[in-house]
Amino acid sequence: MTQSAGPDLRAHVAELISAALTKIAPQLTNTAIVIERPKQIQHGDYACSIALQLAKPLKRKPRDIATALIEALPSSPCVASTEIAGAGFINFFLRSDAHQQTISRILGEGKAFGCSGAGGKQKVQIEFVSANPTGPLHVGHGRQAALGDALAALLESQGYDVTREYYYNDAGVQIQNLALSVQARARGVKPGDAKWPEAGYQGEYIQDIATDFLAGKPVGTTEPTVSQGAGNVDDLEAIRKFAVAYLRHEQDTDLRTFDVKFDVYYLESSLYAEGRVDKVVQGFIANDKTYEKDGALWLRTTDYGDDKDRVVRKSDGTYTYFVPDVAYHVTKWQRGFQRVINVQGTDHHSTITRVRAGLQALNIGIPDAYPDYVLHSLVRVLRGGEEVKISKRAGSYVTVRDLIEWVGRDAVRFFLASRRADSEFVFDIDLALAQSEENPVYYVQYAHARVCSVLAQWGGAIEILRDADLAPLTHERELALMKKLAEYPETTANAARELEPHQIAFYLRELAGDFHGYYNATRFLVPEEPLKLARLALAVAARQVLRNGLELLGVSAPEKM
């Protein structure tokens, strides 16, 4: 018997309520219909509180409205029964075959299950990592990479046209300090020596850069260029260019290893070269948003909610750091990105108000809440119960490359995206290496591998499972697993709307738990052919959803473990 792909059950229940509302209160058909999953299984599969919302405008008791809505509901092959609970909640109990249709839908849609066109191809830019090219990527950058890439994948799955962008701060004081640090190393000066730059970078990577510069090695190679010869230690500009190129190459290598790709790399230096920073300042002045004080130029950011006005141009004629940030975001708006999401550390919180104030002061039509921000907290690394703070490469912090070498890319990406961005995260190296259910990424990947193992033992063609009769799937564990699978599209939609990739990680952990419980209690390759094929179809559906969710997080779905 061929199974037709079933509807989105939550959306179907909402449509039923909408039809009933049209009958009993046509003047209120614009009322938002919220369908929720009850926390307790005895309260049904879905619940709706619209009767409580309508009590005041209709001047009726919620339970009376709920009764009227139930009586006006169109008939549905998916709904077994309804009930009124509490003050006026409407609970829906679905038929078993409605849940079984979820399997048909998953097998039919495959990789597209959980995707939608809700975004309408709206252009969205996500800027993340954006590390200064002054050192290796640290674990905080790793968290940004995991969060930003997962956010981009989530929004793409919901129909948005997403651009991943990396902003290189290749200008300013920090780059000057980098060049001075490499120059000092090239001259044989070490950290702690009297001639070491006051704000110099002390990691061993500085010595590596100096060594390659002196040897005349092009960035990204191991062989010296004979014609180029050794680097000139007195040419600070040449050292600066070499050091920036060297570290950009190192960072790009780490990002490739992390399987994170960017569509656009934007250079801070280009903002100065193209006169964009000057243009922003002239815009502030032309709009009468500035004043002179103590030899400096100030912007009235207090007009836009800041706690005090901010310096734009210092008394020495140089600009403060937030001015190029404003210029950069003007380019984002001009490039057609009506929505921009910046993934940054919580230490950048103070820049939000300043950047938004600067954009408003220009009065060029940019919304006052532009851009959006996802701020992440610090990452602490533990090994053997002790905090790890030192890296051989960077000196004072653990790098992304360290984490990948210790536990592998999959564990790093899953772990760093598995908690709310604003919660402090403890990366436990020992847990990430453990082959147990306490290790979430192992637990989820193992569920996928278990399905592959069952299918290998079976040896049949996956395609025939699309036509399997799913009626035998009536056991409590099977119903629970099917219900969990049906939650995936709403989970991805919520995670994208709320900019919270950790919701996917949480969901995958729960789905893996449901599948492992089912696997441990169930024989798949039973003699009864209809039951065997139905169970295998359910297993394949679970595998597909596990694979879809892991792909959003940038994590592989191994077939063997």
Q: Give yes or no for a contact between 123 and 339, defined as CB atoms under 8 angstroms apart.
A: yes
The neighbouring-strand residues paired with 428 are 382
- Report how far residue 502's alpha carbon sits from residue 260's, in angstroms, rounded to the nearest whole number: 18
Q: Kindly report, residue by residue over 415-461, the tens digit of the pLDDT.
A: 999 999 999 999 999 999 999 999 999 999 999 999 999 999 999 99
CA distances from 494 to 116, 158, 489 (A): 12, 10, 9
pLDDT for 451: 98
Distance between CA atoms of residues 415 and 403, nearest Å: 11
Tokens of 498: 């709320």
Q: Within the chain, which residues score under 70 in pLDDT?
A: 1-7, 220-230, 390-395
Which residues are paired to 381 by β-bridges?
388, 427
Kindly list the distances between the CA atom of residue 475 and the CA atoms of 347, 467, 478, in Å, as whole numbers in the listed order: 51, 20, 5
Would you say 341 and 151 are in contact if contact means Cβ atoms under 8 Å apart? yes
| Structure confidence at residue 341 (pLDDT) | 98
Residue partners of 504: CB distance under 8 A and separation at least 6: 150, 154, 417, 491, 492, 495, 549, 552, 553
Handedness of CA 412, 374, 552, 447 (dihedral sign): positive
User: What are the sequence ranges of the domains in the chain?
Assistant: 9-94, 437-552
Report helix, strand or coil for 379. strand
What single letter denotes the amino acid at residue 259? D
Each residue's pLDDT tens digit, 125-137: 999 999 989 999 9
Task: State residue 359's pLDDT score.
Answer: 98
Instruction: Tell me, rounded to whole angstroms, the distance of Cα 483 from its chain centroid.
Output: 25
pTM equals 0.90
Q: Is 452 exposed, middle or buried (0-12, 13-18, 19+ CB in 10 A)?
A: middle
Question: Hey, what CATH topology would domain 437-552 get?
Answer: Isoleucyl-tRNA Synthetase; Domain 1 (1.10.730)
The rounded percent of the chain whose pLDDT value lies above 90 is 87
| pLDDT the model gives residue 100 | 93
Pairing of strands 310-313, 339-345: unpaired
CA 353 – CA 340 distance, rounded (Å)? 15
Task: Write the class of the CATH domain 9-94.
Answer: alpha beta
